[in-house]
Amino acid sequence: MVLKYLLYGWMILIAALAVNVVASTLGVTTWYDYVTSISVLGLKTATCSLQVHEHLFLFVIYPGILGLVVYLVMRFVG
């Protein structure tokens, strides 16, 4: 039981790292960049400075990919 949840966590971590590498390569703001920007500029300024595709990535695509990973792992692992 514990190993199953550990596997879920590892799969999410691996997927998140892979998505962050791809995003950085493409020049898209990652969650790390966004949170750092919030700490420097404040929430409103940091959020307003994002482009539309970065909003889509952070709030739709990124969580969608991680959700898909969890779904697939749960489906195939149990």
Would you write out the chain's pLDDT as a tens digit for each of its 78 residues? 788 889 889 999 999 999 999 999 999 999 999 999 999 999 999 999 999 999 999 999 999 999 999 999 889 886
Total-model pTM: 0.85
What is the distance between the alpha carbons of residues 61 and 52, in angstroms, rounded to a whole number?
12
Residue ranges of domains in the chain: 2-73
What is the distance between the alpha carbons of residues 7 and 38, in angstroms, rounded to a whole number?
32
